[in-house]
Amino acid sequence: MPPAATENVPAPAAAAAAPSKPEAQPYLSTMPSSDFSWQITLANKVVAITGANRGIGLGIAEVCLANSAKFVYSFDLMEPGEDFAELQKRYSNFRYIQTDVTSEESIENAINKVVEETGRIDGLVANAGMTKHQPALKFDREQLDKLFNLNVYGAYFCAQIVARKFIELGIKGSIVMTSSMTSYRPNRAAPSAPYGATKAAVRNMCHTLAMEWSQHGIRVNSISPGFVQTAMTYYVEKSPDWDLKMQYYGGMPRLADPRELGGAYVYLLSDASSYTTGIDIPIAGIVGAW
Ligand SMILES: NC(=O)c1ccc[n+]([C@@H]2O[C@H](COP(=O)([O-])OP(=O)(O)OC[C@H]3O[C@@H](n4cnc5c(N)ncnc54)[C@H](O)[C@@H]3O)[C@@H](O)[C@H]2O)c1
């Protein structure tokens, strides 16, 4: 039974004596505005991507830049290499801030720097991650701690810290996390039970964050890549039975170019996805859908 409508109404005397409350801030409407542009674009948007000095992050950065992002920042621990420099030659609005996503202080400093430099931040891709392949019977606590610290805690604190910033600035921000097809099923080519668990945690936390933060106009989604050609998958094509495995898996018998994932990130970061939150998009050329 719902409580009687009068139950929470204070008596007039009590109401008069109550200390004055700070005025409640109205939540941001998630509806598109009347002058909304229906083009899928990142024009005027400032986006930060963790781990974008190489690999999938760099591929996402390139596609964001090709779709008119105002600035794209890579938050990465590693010094930028040649691939980063090559993209920056084409896009001077691609920037790097040395960041360790396993440190809340470092994440906060990086986000503050973006806002200092550009006046805003509209999107964050929590992408930095690592794996370790070995039989489940061999993993020790230290190895698990390392994986969870980067893949799960890193993604969580990036999301929490940028969400606080979105709320402070009154920005309807978008958060996208890089999960993995291993969050659904084992990677038969190179199993790693703890890695799959970290990616399932990433995919799962998006549901609840999306639910809690929708009242602030913040959306949270994830993308689950299959096999993508990066340093992380160096072993795949070297494997002597690679062709056979590909035949066995079915689907597209190749690794993805990291940029082939980019369109989905652009969509989720753009205002075109204003009613899309709490979902995962698997991108695996069917190969990863083992
Ligand atoms: N490659 C694949 O096939 C594949 C498939 C599914 C999911 N993923 C996920 O995609 C993401 C990117 O993977 P990738 O293949 O591009 O890997 P990668 O190793 O090529 O790139 C990872 C980047 O993260 C950075 N990084 C590592 N620790 C960091 C830290 N503490 N702070 C900031 N940056 C840090 C690295 O310096 C590097 O630039 C990861 O989360 C990974 O789990 C990859």
d(Cα 71, Cα 110) in Å, to the nearest integer? 14
pLDDT at res. 23: 64
Q: What is the DSSP letter of 149?
A: I
SS3 call for 205: helix
Q: Which of 57, 9, 39 is nearest to 272 (CA)?
A: 39
Cβ of 174 closer than 6 Å to ligand 1, yes or no, is no
**Alpha carbons 109 and 282: distance in angstroms, whole number:** 32
Decide: 222 in ligand 1 pocket, CB within 6 A.
no
pLDDT at 21: 61
Q: What is the pLDDT of residue 26?
A: 74
All domains of the chain in start order, with CATH: 46-283 (3.40.50.720)
Q: Which two tokens stand for residue 131?
A: 């794996």
Verify whether ligand 1 is closer than 6 Å to residue 54 (CB atom). Answer: yes
Annotation says 199 is catalytic: yes
Contact between residue 212 and residue 167 where contact means Cβ atoms under 8 Å apart: no
Residue 237 has pLDDT above 80, yes or no: no
Cα-only R_g, the chain: 21
Q: Counting atoms of ligand 1 from 1, which one is nearest the CA of 130?
A: 43
Read off the DSSP letter of residue 262.
Answer: H
Question: What pLDDT is stored for residue 5 in this prediction?
Answer: 37
At 277 the pLDDT is 98
Residue type, 79: E
Unique residue bearing structure tokens 């050609």: 229
Give Cα separations from 284 to 22, 60, 113, 187, 205 (angstroms).
49, 15, 35, 12, 21
The Cα–Cα gap between 284 and 183 comes to: 13
pLDDT for the residue numbered 187: 85
Q: Which two tokens stand for residue 264?
A: 């989905």
Q: Which two tokens stand for residue 276?
A: 């899309």
pLDDT for 167 equals 97
**Side chain identity at residue 240, one-letter code:** P
Residue 183 corresponds to which tokens in the numbers above? Answer: 């969050």
Pick from 36-40, 217-221, 267-271: least confident: 36-40
> Band of the pLDDT at 251, cuts 50, 70, 90?
confident
Q: What one-letter code names the amino acid at 93?
A: N
Ligand 1 pocket residue status of 127, Cβ below 6 Å: yes
Question: Across the beta sheet with 174-178, what order do the strands follow?
Answer: 94-98, 71-76, 46-50, 123-126, 174-178, 219-225, 280-283
pLDDT tens-place string over residues 154-174:
999 999 999 999 999 999 999
Residue % of the chain over a pLDDT of 70: 90
User: Which whole number is the average pLDDT over 268-287?
Assistant: 94
Question: Tokens 């929590």 — which residue?
Answer: 126
Highest mean pLDDT among 24-38, 52-66, 221-235: 52-66
Pocket test for ligand 1, best of 133, 230, 255 (most atoms within 8 A of CB): 230
Report residue 237: phi and psi, to 5°: -75, -15
**Ligand 1 pocket residue status of 99, Cβ below 6 Å:** yes
Residue 150's nearest CA partner among 224, 219, 89, 99 is: 99
Where does residue 141 fall: left (phi above 0), alpha (psi -120 to 50 degrees), or beta otherwise?
Answer: alpha
pLDDT in tens, 69-108: 999 999 999 999 999 999 999 999 999 999 999 999 999 9
Spot the catalytic one: 180, 192, 270, 273.
Answer: 180
